[in-house]
């Protein structure tokens, strides 16, 4: 049986009591309970660890090595400065996913930088405690687990999501394969996304544009025609304030995705100017980043479901 460790860093024992506008009203026990419920349904074993002490978390990470199959960590404020934690994650071979309840890019400047991001597989932030469920799915293989939900009954009007891929993503599978891989062509990613969406009775429309203006035009027409947006803006994410404004004016829930872990790459890619107007960001999981984004939008817009 696969075992996943969930690590909660400093002050997360105060969930439900502090800054509820940002973190919500759920307590840490509530969060762990909902992760366990999901994990049990997938027959995955979980273990939970919370500490306010950096050294305790470092020691626990060491203990996890070779014993668990994956780790999700919300390192709290340690995220932004703890090089000990960074080194501990780098020293183990277990895949580690970084999770944040809030969209750290909407908050104070010091929270925009994660020192652990470059040594994690990927980052999920902004989805409340649902982020942990997304992280759980990101760690599990789609071929072994039934990860994506299916619409049980049509209790919600048919939803339609707009999916936008930015410049150069038409070259996926051919360019820079060391970073992006060879197996994922954009049409395959979208094909898979469409299949999962179909099972959820969701319509998805996908566009790829190399021109910034085309993306802005499409976003401007999206309000009223779609229920949510998934955007992989490519390099535009790092500098296009036009895109930022266009997303902001749609009023639609928008999820930012990256195929790669941008924090492992060149410095200029670490900052996204659109993150602050998106509900959350998912990056580092390849094609699965799009599926996790679909999953999160489905959960948000479905009046009944919780992943």
Q: Which residues are catalytic?
A: 23, 100
> Could you give the strand order of the β-sheet that contains 96-100, starting from the edge strand earlier in sequence?
45-50, 3-8, 70-74, 96-100, 122-125, 280-283, 254-258, 228-232, 159-165, 202-208
Nearest CA to 73 among 148, 7, 142, 157?
Answer: 7
CB of 92 vs another protein, minimal distance in Å: 30
- Select 291 or 300, whichever has its Cβ closest to another protein: 300
279 binds another protein (CB under 8 A): yes
CB of 112 vs another protein, minimal distance in Å: 12
Vertex 199: Cα angle to 155 and 222 (nearest 5): 75
Which of 32, 58, 114, 127 is in the footprint of another protein by CB under 8 A?
127
CB of 161 vs another protein, minimal distance in Å: 13
Taking contact as CB under 8 A, which single stretch among the options 63-71, 172-180, 262-270, 298-306 is the one that binds another protein? 298-306
Which of 10, 70, 122, 128 is in the footprint of another protein by CB under 8 A?
128
Characterize 5-35 residue by residue with b for buried, 16 or more Cβ atoms within 10 angstroms of its Cβ, and e for exposed.
bbbbbbebbebeeeeeeebbebebeebbebb
- Select 5 or 291, whichever has its Cβ closest to another protein: 291
Q: What part of residues 198-227 is at the interface with another protein (CB under 8 A)?
A: 227
Q: What part of residues 72-111 is at the interface with another protein (CB under 8 A)?
A: 101-104, 106-108
**Which residue shows structure tokens 């048919």?**
158
Q: For the beta carbon of residue 249, count every other beta carbon within 10 angstroms.
A: 14
Tokens representing residue 226 in the block: 């779609």
122 binds another protein (CB under 8 A): no
> What's the length of the chain?
307
For another protein, the binding residues (CB under 8 A) are 20-25, 101-104, 106-108, 126-130, 156-157, 227, 248, 251-253, 276-277, 279-280, 296, 300-301, 303, 306
């Amino acid at each position: 049986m696969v075992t996943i460790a969930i690590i909660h860093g400093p002050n997360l024992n105060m969930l439900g009591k502090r800054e509820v506008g940002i973190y919500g009203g759920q307590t840490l026990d509530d969060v762990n309970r909902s992760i366990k419920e999901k994990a049990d349904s997938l027959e995955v074993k979980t273990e939970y660890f919370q500490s306010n002490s950096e050294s305790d978390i470092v020691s626990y990470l060491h203990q996890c090595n070779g014993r668990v199959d994956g780790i999700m960590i919300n390192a709290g404020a340690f995220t932004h400065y703890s090089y000990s934690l960074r080194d501990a994650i780098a020293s183990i071979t277990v895949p580690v996913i970084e999770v944040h309840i809030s969209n750290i890019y909407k908050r104070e400047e010091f929270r925009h930088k994660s020192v652990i991001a470059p040594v994690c597989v990927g980052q999920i932030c902004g989805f409340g405690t649902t982020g942990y469920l997304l992280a759980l799915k990101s760690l599990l293989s789609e071929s072994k687990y039934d990860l994506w939900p299916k619409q049980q009954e049509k209790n919600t009007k048919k939803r339609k999501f707009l999916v936008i891929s930015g410049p150069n993503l038409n070259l996926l599978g051919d360019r820079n394969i060391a970073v992006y891989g060879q197996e994922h062509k954009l049409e395959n990613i979208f094909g898979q996304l469409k299949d999962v969406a179909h099972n959820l009775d969701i319509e998805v429309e996908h566009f790829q544009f190399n021109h910034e203006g085309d993306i802005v035009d499409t976003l401007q027409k999206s309000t009223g025609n779609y229920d949510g947006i998934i955007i992989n803006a490519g390099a535009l994410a790092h500098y296009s304030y036009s895109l930022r404004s266009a997303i902001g004016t749609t009023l639609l829930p928008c999820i930012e995705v990256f195929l790669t872990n941008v924090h492992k790459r060149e410095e200029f890619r670490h900052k996204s100017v659109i993150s602050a107007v998106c509900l959350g960001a998912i990056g580092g999981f390849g094609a699965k980043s799009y599926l996790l984004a679909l999953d999160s939008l489905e959960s948000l817009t479905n009046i009944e479901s919780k992943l």
